[in-house]
């Protein structure tokens, strides 16, 4: 499961299809299983399961506007999930995407409210690049701590989350505060810096296309490029990597910087595409949900697109459920948790492949 093997020259299309089919089957079965259990759970809690699922799924994808809202939510989830696929493939347990998102959002805002003299398109590029670089740097910080001081990145990334979130609070109450506003928030980005929308009248903007491109790029990087190969080797067997002259430290840094960079980009896109200004709780936990997105996708960036959308549906649906079916949001979290658990269980089941004879 953990390996997307190099494609055979023999009948590549057929092979790829059957492989992809098999690989996709388990997570899909797992999600269906989880939804089944969820329905049961809802029923036991006195809700009419069919109605609830109806509201949740159909409500989330019933018309153009709600589909656009789902994709809007999916954009940061996909970006973060894709980045975490890279980190997890390198066995770097980056729990800090949330902080990296804040770092990216802050840097993007700082660039957005300054440099007004630049042409708009260049300014937008600068905003996105600044967000990515800040996220990458925030991630690389944890990477450096791990490489030079053997500090567990699980601990350091979690702690860096708090630092990034508090730094953002400081920025919007201090240096970046909009002098005209009484709330702790930054000034609004100029209108020509907003990411172009392409499905009027919805809010859907080009961020989703960037996320899709990132997923494809990350897939090519991991499974078709030399650099990505090195990242995977380090993740699977650092000892063999060292013997082969593949630097463990360099690849650890690269993997966490890529994952931080994509989280930072997600933050920048939230600023330039959705909120247009920075405030304290800019992320409703996308950084943590991204971990689930990557896990559900089995650390495959292409599958992360699908799992990102699924989590966005659950998220949108949860709002609708609360409103129209009065289902408490905690139950939606339970459903999300069930999805992850059953995917983990199904993939463990599938991992029992042939053993070596001898």
Number of residues binding to other proteins, judged by CB under 8 A: 33
Nearer to other proteins, 25 or 249 (CB): 249
Distance CA 191, CA 148 (A): 44
Q: Does 220 bind other proteins (CB under 8 A)?
A: yes
Interacting positions 247-286 with other proteins (CB under 8 A): 247
Q: Are 272 and 195 in contact (CB under 8 A)?
A: yes
* Residue 247 beta carbon to other proteins: minimum distance, rounded to whole angstroms: 6
Q: Does 18 bind other proteins (CB under 8 A)?
A: no
Site string for other proteins, 37-76 (x = CB under 8 A): ----------------------------------------
Distance between the two ends of the chain, CA-based, in angstroms? 23
Distance CA 65, CA 202 (A): 6
Q: Does 8 bind other proteins (CB under 8 A)?
A: yes
* Residue 96 beta carbon to other proteins: minimum distance, rounded to whole angstroms: 26
352 token code pair: 């029992």
Interacting positions 224-243 with other proteins (CB under 8 A): 224-227, 229-230, 232-233, 236-237, 239-243
Tell me the three state secondary structure of residue 6: coil
Beta bridge partners of 186: 177
Nearer to other proteins, 117 or 148 (CB): 148
Using CB under 8 A, which of the segments 63-71, 186-194, 218-226, 275-283 binds other proteins? 218-226
* Residue 227 beta carbon to other proteins: minimum distance, rounded to whole angstroms: 6
> In the set 122, 209, 244, 348, which binds other proteins (CB under 8 A)?
244
> In the set 9, 13, 150, 182, which binds other proteins (CB under 8 A)?
9
- Measure CA 281 to chain center: 17
Q: Are 278 and 186 in contact (CB under 8 A)?
A: yes
Distance CA 282, CA 279 (A): 6
Return the closest-CA partner of residue 284 out of 332, 327, 325, 324: 332
Return the closest-CA partner of residue 305 out of 81, 131, 141, 91: 81
Query: Which value, to the nearest 10 degrees, does the dihedral of the CA atoms of residues 274, 279, 285, 286 take?
Result: 30
Q: Are 226 and 85 in contact (CB under 8 A)?
A: no
Q: Does 358 bind other proteins (CB under 8 A)?
A: yes
Which residues have a Cβ under 8 Å from the Cβ of 206 and sit 6 or more positions away? 195, 196, 197, 198, 273
Q: Does 245 bind other proteins (CB under 8 A)?
A: yes
> In the set 174, 196, 200, 354, which binds other proteins (CB under 8 A)?
354
Q: Does 3 bind other proteins (CB under 8 A)?
A: yes
Q: Does 6 bind other proteins (CB under 8 A)?
A: yes
228 token code pair: 């990505």
158 token code pair: 């979690």
Q: Does 22 bind other proteins (CB under 8 A)?
A: no
Binding site residues, other proteins, CB under 8 A: 2-3, 5-9, 220, 224-227, 229-230, 232-233, 236-237, 239-247, 353-358
């Amino acid at each position: 499961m953990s390996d997307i093997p190099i494609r055979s020259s023999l009948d590549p299309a057929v092979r790829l299809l059957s492989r992809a089919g098999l690989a996709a089957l388990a997570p899909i079965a797992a999600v269906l299983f989880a939804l089944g259990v969820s329905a049961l759970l809802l029923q036991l809690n006195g809700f009419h399961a069919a109605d609830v699922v109806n509201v949740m799924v159909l409500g989330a994808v019933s018309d153009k506007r709600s589909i656009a809202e789902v994709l809007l939510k999916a954009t940061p989830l996909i970006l973060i999930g894709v980045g975490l696929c890279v980190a997890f493939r390198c066995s770097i347990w980056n729990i800090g995407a949330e902080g990296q998102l804040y770092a990216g959002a802050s840097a993007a805002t700082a660039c957005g409210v300054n440099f007004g003299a630049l042409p708009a398109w260049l300014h937008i590029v600068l905003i996105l690049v600044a967000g990515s670089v800040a996220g990458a740097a925030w991630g690389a910080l944890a990477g450096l701590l791990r490489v030079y001081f053997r500090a567990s990145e699980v601990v350091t990334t979690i702690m860096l989350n708090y630092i990034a979130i508090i730094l953002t609070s400081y920025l919007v109450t201090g240096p970046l505060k909009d002098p005209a506003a009484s709330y702790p928030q930054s000034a609004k980005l100029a209108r020509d810096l907003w990411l172009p929308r392409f499905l009027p009248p919805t809010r859907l903007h080009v961020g989703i296309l960037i996320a899709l491109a990132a997923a494809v790029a990350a897939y090519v990087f991991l499974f078709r490029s030399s650099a990505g190969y090195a990242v995977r080797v380090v993740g699977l067997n650092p000892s063999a990597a060292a013997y082969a002259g593949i630097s463990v430290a360099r690849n650890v840094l690269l993997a966490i910087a890529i994952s931080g960079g994509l989280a930072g980009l997600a933050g920048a896109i939230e600023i330039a595409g959705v909120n247009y200004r920075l405030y304290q709780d800019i992320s409703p936990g996308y950084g943590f949900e991204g971990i689930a997105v990557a896990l559900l996708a089995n650390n495959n960036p292409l599958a992360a697109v699908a799992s990102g959308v699924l989590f966005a549906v659950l998220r949108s649906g949860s709002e609708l459920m609360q409103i129209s079916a009065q289902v408490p949001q905690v139950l939606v979290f339970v459903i999300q948790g069930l999805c992850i658990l059953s995917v983990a269980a199904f993939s463990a089941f599938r991992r029992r492949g042939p053993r070596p004879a001898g």
